[in-house]
Amino acid sequence: MDRTPVIAGIGLSDYPKAPHLDTVQHHVLAMQRALADCGIEKSEIDGYINASSGGMMVDDPVTMAEYLRIDHRYIDGTMTGGSSFEFHLQHLAAAIQEGLCDVALVTYGSDQLTRMGRKLGTGGFQRGGQKVPGPVQYEVPYGGSLVGSYAMYATRHAHEFGTTSEQLAEIAVGVREFAGLNPNAIYRDPITVDDVVNSRMIADPLHKLDCCAITDGGGALVVTTAERAKDLKQPPVYVLGAAGAQTHWNISQQTDFTTSAGALAGPIAFERAGVTHDDVDLLMFYDSFTITCLILLESLGFVPQGEGGPFVAEGHLKRGGKWPLNTDGGGLSSCHPGMRGIFLLIESVRQLRGQGGEAQVPGCEVALAAGSGGWLSCIGVVLTGREHP
Amino acid sequence: MSDREIVTVEEWEKPLPRTDAISAPYWEAAAQGRLLIQECASCGNRQWYPRAMCTKCGGDVTWLECSGRGEVYTFTVIRQMGMRPFRDELPYAIAMVRLEEGPLIFGNVTDVDPDDVRVGLPVEVWFTKVDDEIGVPSWRPA
């Protein structure tokens, strides 16, 4: 039996603003749409995966498996932040090949915007006077922010390689162009490099338009064997190769602020997939910030380290370019509830099926999804393709 | 070892460490004006933040008192922050400082216009004493 792993179904919950849905409802709606997308019955699902999102036990894996009533024989709750879903695919690709499950469901949902507003990047996570345990205790007296942590990468990258704000801005401009083609994207008006560098500075050198949006949203994937996928409704998208690696978790423990664990995970994923950078037609990078994309581009080996700035300024990541980036409008301009990794995979599938509409990358045969979780801490890489490997 | 400035405060409204067996000596030393990192007896590795073992070889570590000198390795200037009292101090600089002894350490850069902070700026440590158990190291131009 052909047990090549296939993403057979995708589903998106409502976004960018969904005050009618709470986190659990996002998971449910995404699942319903993914099941309808591929035509599989919920009763056939025998594997359940999601990223535990905290200690509240509301939408963690065992609770959601119970709520959704998925009587699984395979469960995964790997939590690496936003890249969790790429790590999930790494695990699922092996699990499905091995026969640990036949039909797996991955879900994600968040009412981040409706419940918390826009505090994620700059709110600070603690209260004054709060006593904080664990490694974060060494950071909390100082007033850092999520944006600030990523900004420190941009500062060091500029110091070592001369990367400019204008170059970073080109990334935001290109992704916004794709958002203009997505009726659901939160920000659709075209922007220029000047717009980005003149937008309010949040944490030097990152401006407001260097930072991702905050939205509500959810997503789901149905992953199964190529054999099973033959009888389902959509063209199969094959998982060619996946890998994940971690260099640190908390920002204080990063030792090189110009790179990422993509340098470890990328080569493994490419080797397993048996493809090269030139074979890749679509980049779906976790665009928490423009600098995140730049560092992923370099550390994954698309360009030599330090050359990312000039490269993106030449337009290679834009619509019509060599490696179009984030054709759904990304986290920068479309959808980012707090963890974006599942949307990288959903858009990869949509494009590889040829269902990208106006945003379709012509001749899209191979996509690379690179999730970044934590503070560019855990990088998960998933290569998918239209042709059976 | 040169004297390091300790500023005692009546009120500290920012978050604090919930100290544990390993971190308590670090924070207590800071309350006394001493900056500690750890060194491995077996392999010589030096590390920050403090842990129960060596990050390189897993072996046992001992405390090492730092000179208090370093330079800014990278930084940012926080200009938007929702949380009080940090919000009242905007803008301020956050940095990773390369200690003379080797490791990077996370902290604030103070006593300088945030717009004048730069990579490579030589800095020295000073301490805010919250109480006898906790001092908070910060950095200012040397």
Q: Distances in Å between the alpha carbon of A199 and those of A14, A165, A185?
A: 28, 11, 20
Q: Which chain B residues are within 8 Å of A376, Cβ to Cβ?
A: none
d(CA A128, CA A140): 10
Q: Is B106 on the interface with A (CB under 8 A)?
A: yes
Residue contact A251–B12, C-beta within 8 A = no
Number of Cβ atoms within 10 Å of the Cβ of A92? 27
**Pick among B35, B51, B55, B76 to test the A interface (most A CBs inside 10 A):** B76
ipTM: 0.97
**Pick among B45, B47, B81, B89 to test the A interface (most A CBs inside 10 A):** B81
Instruction: Tell me the pLDDT of chain A (389 aa) as tens digits.
Output: 999 999 999 999 999 999 999 999 999 999 999 999 999 999 999 999 999 766 677 899 999 999 999 999 999 999 999 999 999 999 999 999 999 999 999 999 999 999 888 888 888 667 777 899 999 999 999 999 999 999 999 999 999 999 999 999 999 999 999 999 999 999 999 999 999 999 999 999 999 999 999 999 999 999 999 999 999 999 999 999 999 999 999 999 999 999 999 999 999 999 999 999 999 999 999 999 999 999 999 999 999 999 999 999 999 999 999 999 999 999 999 999 999 999 999 999 999 999 999 999 999 999 999 999 999 999 999 999 999 99
Q: How many CB pairs under 8 A join A and B?
A: 132
Q: Mean pLDDT for chain B?
A: 96
Partner-chain residue, chosen from A119, A128, A200, that has the shortest CB–CB distance to B15: A128
- Note the pLDDT tens digit of each residue in A138-160: 999 999 999 999 999 999 999 99
Tokens standing for residue A306: 């330090």
Residue contact B15–A255, C-beta within 8 A = no
Residue contact B107–A142, C-beta within 8 A = yes
The answer to pTM > 0.90 is yes
Residue contact B19–A135, C-beta within 8 A = no
Partner-chain residue, chosen from A148, A155, A205, that has the shortest CB–CB distance to B78: A148
Q: Is B131 on the interface with A (CB under 8 A)?
A: no
**Residue B1: pLDDT band by 50, 70, 90 thresholds?**
very low
Average confidence (pLDDT) over B31-50: 98
Q: What is the pLDDT of residue A55?
A: 61
Q: Which chain B residues are within 8 Å of A151, Cβ to Cβ?
A: 76
Residue contact B14–A203, C-beta within 8 A = no
Residue contact B108–A147, C-beta within 8 A = no
Q: What is the pLDDT of residue A116?
A: 86
Peptide bond into A48 cis (omega under 30): no
Q: In chain B, where are the structural domains located?
A: 6-141
Q: Which chain A residues are within 8 Å of B37, Cβ to Cβ?
A: none
Interface of chain A toward chain B, CB-CB under 8 angstroms: 119, 122-124, 126-133, 135, 137-145, 147-148, 151-153, 155-156, 159, 200-206, 251-255, 257
Please give the residue of chain B at the shortest CA–CA distance from A207: B79
Q: Which chain A residues are within 8 Å of B76, Cβ to Cβ?
A: 148, 151-152, 155, 203-206
Beta bridge partner(s), residue A381: A243, A370
If 0-12 CB within 10 Å is exposed, 13-18 middle and 19+ buried, where does residue B53 land?
A: middle
- Note the pLDDT tens digit of each residue in B83-127: 989 999 999 999 999 999 999 999 999 999 999 999 999 999 999
Domains annotated on chain A, with CATH: 5-115+213-385 (3.40.47.10)
